[in-house]
Structure 1
Amino acid sequence: MASVINIGADNASDQFYRYKMPKLQARIEGRGNGIKTNVVNNVEVAKALERPPDYLVKFYGCELGAQTKYDKKSGTSIVNGAHDTSKLCELLESFIKKYVQCYSCGNPETVVKIRKDNIFLKCKACGAVSDVDMRHRLNTYILKNPPEDKISKAEKKVKKQEKEKGISAAIENNDKDEKKKKKKDKDGKKKKKDGDEEGSNEGSADADDDEDEEDEVVWMTDTSEEAAKARAQEQLTAAMASIVTQGNIEAEAAERRKREEKRLAEEAAAREAEEERKRAEEEAAAKEAAELAANPVLRLRKFIAAGNSAADVAAELKTVDVVGGHVGRMRVLYEALFGDLDEGVKLAAQVKARKDILTTAGGDTAMQLAQLVALEYLLGVATPARIKEVAMVLKVFYDEDIVEEALIVGWYGRVDAAKVLGVDPSTAAAVRAVAKPLVEWLQEAESEEESDEDE
């Protein structure tokens, strides 16, 4: 059974709040393209809010940009896509503020009214009438599917009592008029009879009494010019007071409308800014994904920067699909590791620091030769400003056992070794010219070792 909570987030902590509703429950169903969210107790929530259930589902769809479906017979409420309960609860709170709570007193005792394609909320608690912001897409659905005018049992009972009271009052007034008429006729007959029996003096006295009574009536209604002016002034003062009061009420209503319009505008601006931020993030993510898919160097560089081990990097390198086979893949590795170094950073030091990746990815003879070709491409084509560092990097290769000595000498003798990567002969010759001192040193050292062995 769903737990019961207060209606409106502002009243969540009030344990004595009398307006309650069930806590929203949602369940994600299906998978793939058919995944959807089922708002399990949407009908119960809508009943507590006194709103049609399809209004709530349609509101979720408008806010989430998703299609919705509501089955009136079974009460099944579906929103396409996977949406967690917390997000739907936030949207429900927004619906309550816009279409349930009174904009004046905040109580959820409003009735949806429609007049001339305008929607407003009439509060049964304070009597205030609140205009709904007509910019929301749900309003179109509400205008096409207006709520049914339902009168509660209590309201029916009150109307019936008022009707019965009106009929009883009319009958009672009619009886009183009949009694007064009969009494008047009876008094008239009695006075006529008494007048015939009594003398003329008594008749004169009665006439004098009637005249006195008439004088009293004239005296109570002062018809003098001053009295007429006073009465006119009183009526004018009362009319002015009524106009001022009405003006104050209208001014307060206009001020409330102005505050509400400002609040709605601020909410719309904040919502638009949030949507713009999300769109920018999505566009940036999509752009980055496209760049990574099109550029294996960037993808591998990001993979290395994530802190993956040398073995993981070597395994990832094998999945790279580029021209040149293992030579092309090694070119991608060298560009990912050393292609974006700052100007003041020495390449030889970075090669030494990345020894674990280089030895793991290029352990056999073929991969070591591929490293020499990749280095030639890196310093001759990708970063030609560093071409003078060739000899120092080769010295690190030799000292750290990254590449065998014989392979370095063999690579030096093959000017077309990097042809597969598009290195032209002049660039290859320039790289070898810088590497020449180190290669000659290696050759001399090898000759000395052979001489020592012969002796």
Structure 2
Amino acid sequence: MAAGIVNIRRDVDDKFYRYRMPLLLTKIEGKGNGIKTVIPNMSDVARALSRPPTYPTKFFGCELGAQTSFDEKNDRYIVNGAHDATKLRELLDGFIEKFVLCKSCKNPETDLIITKTDDIVRDCKACGERTGVDMRHKLTTFIVKNPPKNPRKSKKKGSTDTPASNGAHAEASTPPIDGLDAESDDELTKRIKAEAADLNEESELVKEDWSVDTSAEAVKARTKAAESAMASLSLGGGEEDSDEDADSPYGQLGRWAQENREAGPVEVYKKAEELGIAKKHKAVQVLAQSLFNEDIVAQIPANAALFKKMVTSEKHQKSLLGGIERLVGMAYPSLIPLVPKILMEFYQADILAEDIVQQWGTHVSKKFVDRETSKKVRKASEPFLKWLEEADDSDEDDE
């Protein structure tokens, strides 16, 4: 066997075994609290496994209780802390066993499929079997939110029986929420409200003084200022928008959501579907700007299930953060001190991932607001970012 190449199944001692991958390499960088493990050939390893390189990297973080970060453009995949190559290779074996090998024939020639109910299935090209993965593993949440790209995705409206291959969500022309039939409005409403209630009960905010003046005078002043700001605020957002956005599906959704905040998650989702933008990342940004007002912290749990349904990728998460930026930075600037609580609510509802928030918090951008406002919002987020960092350090100490 050539140097640096190993069998994907390292328990198979056969030099003619056809499924091989590069030997995982590691490089320790930094020192003290900034020490980290870089995996220079993660892309090559992941390509051999037919998986995105973010999956095994995130798997390492889940298993080690360490924070991970990805820079796909520069091909850098990092696990915080110092971890030797032998340990990570053993963990990679675990990833392969759980998320690559067919449970029936143990062949690695599989694709991941995400079903309408957000279950993950391994579709084996070798034996034809479809076997589920253990949905209790933390990585499954990341996979569902960041499905593998699927260039062969079918556009036929009637293809509801066969999920699209290579990890894309199986869709009908009118996808139901949580796998329920579109006609079951009563049951659907109960499910969404129940899920939102559960998320609300489980939420535990960090005990910091991330507060704002809630006196009657302050509330009245903020409301008046917000109303005038929202009147001139483009709900579309983003520097690519034009004056025609008011009549676009996004502008229509934004106005409707503002006027019907009490309609509930089901009706909001139906409206987005009706306008043909329920799956679009920009719809998430618009709803973040239009569904919430100065009571956003209290309003997030009631809408958590809706956002959990609609936020399905890294791009969706960034759009959600952009919508929050515009809401607190332009419409309700007095709520900027509440940014940590807002982020915490979305994070604990499993809508925002820590690596996305960390990346957002350290990169000022003028995509959604002006640069100065962007700086203010990110500066306000520092207590939450610090909490994330300390939580990761605590997990590492426990190891």
Q: TM-score, normalised by structure 2?
A: 0.37
Q: TM-score, normalised to structure 1's length?
A: 0.33
Relative contact order, higher structure (CA 8 A, sep 6+): 2
Larger radius of gyration: 1
